[in-house]
């Protein structure tokens, strides 16, 4: 169609709809209820192109619960180029997204006005496509579930000039080690596809109680996620016929044995290289504990009495570290291998002076 070159079909329909609406006599734009801001129109830029609508909204509607985000999509309050859409619609560069007025609690609003403190993290690799950081233990990767902010919010504050920073994958708050952040949407999509298709190599270092049998190299047990009465998320090994069970495969190699320290009340321990072929929630922690060798310092699935003794010896964290990550670079396609050595508090514990 002459004069419309470069526009997608959704944008062309938007222009047609606009022309029709202008001729409606007496039409008035809807007004927001008292106390609410007016609806906003946001144009999608190139960096956001290809993103799912729900993720686009979560980024723009700070502090709005996800359940409410999905509700306003289903109700038709969110529009793209004035047309109704679904949560999995992909936004395109140049699309105009209508963001309806939303009400959030005073507490959430106050929190949104207090940005996360800016923080940089140790860098293992950085280029124009991605950042690989060495995440310390005790820091969540993102805010939520009682956590005001995490790595990604702090990194965005530290790099306010960066248009795009998104987590490629996640690590438990208690786990240290390699974490990837994408600097372009194309890199995010490419890397997440590799994680989903199990084309990455993810190996952790874990210290467990007892002497791990050298011939126990593969754990292939399904896992089942559930919520406790207090709302805490937990995972357990289940049976193959459990409809909610997810097949989970973990490979284990013994790196070294740490002798018992009777004077300190510590048993024999094993330092393991653990490679996961599937990325289930708490997979390593639950699989190792199911074999009678819980991770040292694990406050959910570990030996709680031992953990108390370890805290008195200044070992106050879980001994699980994302040590090695292999992936194909999103731009060059070259195979990349990253190594994050054990942080001092873990290295010193297994190799005391």
- What are the catalytic residues? 172
DSSP H or E segment with residue 271: strand 269-276
Please state, in angstroms and as integers, the Cα–Cα distance from residue 349 to each residue in 56, 71, 134, 317, following that order. 44, 50, 19, 11
Please state, in angstroms and as integers, the Cα–Cα distance from residue 139 to each residue in 1, 309, 317, following that order. 53, 23, 12
Please state, in angstroms and as integers, the Cα–Cα distance from residue 329 to each residue in 183, 184, 244, 282, 324, following that order. 13, 13, 34, 27, 15
Any idea which residue has 């526009």 for tokens?
A: 7
CB 251 within 8 A of CB 277: yes
Sign of CA dihedral 80, 83, 87, 91: negative
Nearest to 173 by CA among 133, 195, 143: 143
User: Can you give the length of the chain in residues?
Assistant: 353
Alpha-carbon distance of 7 to 1, in angstroms, equals 10
Alpha-carbon distance of 23 to 150, in angstroms, equals 50
Residue 27 tokens read as 């039409």
Please state, in angstroms and as integers, the Cα–Cα distance from residue 256 to each residue in 168, 206, 248, 288, following that order. 31, 11, 25, 16
In angstroms, the first-to-last Cα distance of the chain is: 76
CB 264 within 8 A of CB 309: yes
Residue 265 gets which letter from DSSP?
T
Which residues have C-beta within 8 Å of that of residue 21, sequence separation ≥ 6? 27, 82
């Amino acid at each position: 169609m002459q004069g419309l070159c470069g526009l997608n079909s959704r944008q062309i329909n938007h222009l047609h709809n606009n022309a029709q609406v202008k001729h409606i006599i007496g039409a008035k734009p809807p007004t927001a209820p008292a106390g609410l801001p007016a609806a906003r129109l946001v144009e999608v830029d190139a960096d956001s192109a290809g993103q799912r609508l729900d993720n686009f909204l979560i980024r723009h509607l700070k502090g709005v619960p996800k359940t409410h985000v999905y509700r306003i999509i289903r109700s038709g309050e969110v529009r793209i180029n004035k047309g109704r859409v679904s949560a999995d619609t992909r936004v395109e560069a140049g699309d105009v997204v209508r963001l309806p007025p939303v009400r959030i609690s005073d507490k959430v609003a106050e929190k949104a006005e207090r940005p996360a403190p800016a923080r940089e993290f140790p860098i293992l690799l950085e280029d124009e496509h991605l950042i690989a950081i060495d995440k310390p233990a005790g820091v969540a990767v993102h805010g939520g579930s009682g956590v005001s902010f995490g790595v990604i919010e702090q990194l965005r504050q530290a790099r306010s000039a960066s248009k795009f920073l998104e987590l490629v994958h996640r690590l438990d708050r208690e786990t240290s080690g390699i974490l990837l952040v994408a600097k372009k949407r194309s890199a995010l999509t490419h890397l997440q596809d590799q994680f989903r298709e199990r084309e990455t190599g993810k190996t952790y270092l874990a210290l467990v109680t007892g002497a791990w049998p050298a011939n126990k190299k593969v754990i292939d047990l399904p896992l089942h996620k559930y919520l406790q009465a207090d709302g805490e998320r937990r995972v357990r090994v289940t049976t193959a016929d459990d409809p909610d069970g997810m097949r989970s495969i973990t490979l284990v190699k013994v790196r070294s044995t740490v002798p018992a320290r009777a004077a300190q009340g510590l048993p024999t321990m094993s330092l393991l290289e653990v490679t996961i072929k599937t990325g289930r929630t708490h997979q390593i922690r639950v699989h190792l504990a199911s074999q009678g060798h819980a991770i040292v310092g694990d406050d959910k699935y570990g030996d709680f009495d031992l953990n108390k003794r370890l805290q008195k010896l200044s070992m106050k964290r879980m001994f699980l570290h994302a040590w090695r990550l292999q992936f194909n670079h999103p731009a060059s396609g070259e195979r990349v291998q990253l190594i994050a050595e054990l942080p001092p508090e873990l290295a010193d514990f297994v190799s005391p002076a």
